[in-house]
Amino acid sequence: MAAGHEPTLQDLSREFHLTPELIWTIDPDHNSRGGITEFNPWERFPNKNGLMLHAWGEGPFCRFRIPGRFRNCSGIYILVTGGKVTFVGWCQNLVQRMNQHYGTISPRKCYERSEPENCLVNHRILEVAQSKRKVQLYLIQDGASDLCEMIISRLNPSWNSDLE
């Protein structure tokens, strides 16, 4: 993609002749006053090993879930915000990836030697939701991991780029 161009689903379709299926609109948990529940899990737990927070570990974070009916879905998942492809990844179990990896941030995910991707995606979803916008989850059912890497390389989604 050209520098400064934010990729869209149309770009994905044009470049790869693929049409992903809309699976779910991610909606973080809300508190009793209607605001999004935020938390920083690392604040509530002792850091006995003296580890440093990684670049995305500070938060804040939210909690969200997608329904269990997508448990047997695997392939390339695509997060879309405002019509723009913001993140692309691959998974064997969509519910596990979304609910356990991105939707629930445990303290250990916040520190060095963990996977900062989980924190980055969760924090970005929180930011989008706070601005009253939606994050939509699309899936290319059974899409291969090497195709996923090709899509990331060509489209260069902004959240994937933030991990580099």
Q: Which residues contact 153 (CB under 8 A, 6 or more apart)?
A: none
For residue 105, what are its two tokens? Answer: 């941030």
The answer to whether 126 touches 36, Cβ cutoff 8 Å, is yes
Kindly give the confidence (pLDDT) of every residue in the chain, 164 residues in length, as a single tens digit, with 9 standing for 90 and above. Answer: 555 679 999 999 999 999 999 999 999 999 999 999 999 999 887 888 888 999 999 999 999 999 999 999 999 999 999 999 999 999 999 999 999 999 999 998 999 989 899 999 999 999 999 999 999 999 999 999 999 999 999 999 999 999 87
The structural domains of the chain, with segments of one domain joined by +, span: 9-162
For residue 76, what are its two tokens? Answer: 């390339």
The CATH number fitting domain 9-162, selected from 1.10.760, 2.40.50, 3.40.50, 3.40.1440: 3.40.1440
What gap in Å lies between CA 101 and CA 113, rounded to an integer?
A: 15
Q: Is the peptide bond before 116 cis (omega within 30 degrees of 0)?
A: no
